[in-house]
Amino acid sequence: MEENNSFYCENVSEPQNIIAPQYDNSLNLPFLKNMISWATFKGVIEIITGAYMCLFFILIIPAVIGVYFIVSGSKLLNSVEDLKKYMSSGDKTNIENALSNMHKYFKFNGIGLIISLCLTVIILILYIVVIVIMIRTGNDLLRIFE
């Protein structure tokens, strides 16, 4: 019994040589200069903010957040340095390093955002629990502070 597989083979054609379109590999330098200046500004502001928050080293949470800002700003400034090297030399490894550092920066900030959102939800739940307890007990909780 011979099977006829012509249905499955009808639409299959011979592989064709597809020529990939050629793109101009040079990047828009005015755009890069503008991006470098804004990224530098953002990185420096993050480092200054982190250093300011670390001044409150007595409080652990602001110091941890300050270290987060300092690390985040330094990752962005590393990317800026690689972009500057690319603009001066035109070496593609520098642009690859810059994009890699930017990826690390955005990933680090994304993880920090997820953590801060989770902490915000936890704090909101704690506030709701405290309010419910205060409503159930009446003003008895307020008498503790008297």
Contact predicate 79/102, CB 8 Å = yes
Q: Among the residues of 55-91, which ranges form H helices?
A: 60-89
- Cα dist from 131 to 61, 85, 120, 127, whole Å: 24, 56, 16, 6
Is 141 contained in some domain?
no
Portion of the chain with pLDDT greater than 90, in percent: 42
Mean pLDDT, rounded, for 45-63: 85
pLDDT at 55 over 90: no
Burial class of residue 42 (count of CB atoms within 10 Å of its CB; 0-12, 13-18, 19+): middle
Is 140 contained in some domain?
no
Is 102 contained in some domain?
yes
Name the residue range of residue 90's domain.
28-116
Min mean pLDDT across 11-25, 40-54, 89-103, 115-129 is at 11-25
Q: What is the per-residue pLDDT for 23? A: 43
Q: What is the per-residue pLDDT for 62? A: 80
Confidence of residue 132 (pLDDT cuts 50, 70, 90): confident
Confidence of residue 18 (pLDDT cuts 50, 70, 90): low
Q: Give the integer Cα–Cα distance in Å for 45 and 51.
A: 10
Is 42 contained in some domain?
yes
pLDDT at 145 over 70: no
Q: What is the per-residue pLDDT for 44? A: 95
Is 46 contained in some domain?
yes
Q: What is the per-residue pLDDT for 27? A: 63
Q: What length does the chain have?
A: 146
The owner of tokens 């953002």 is 42
Is 80 contained in some domain?
yes
pLDDT at 127 over 90: yes
Is 5 contained in some domain?
no
Total domains present in the chain: 1
Mean pLDDT, rounded, for 57-65: 79
Portion of the chain with pLDDT greater than 70, in percent: 74
Is 53 contained in some domain?
yes
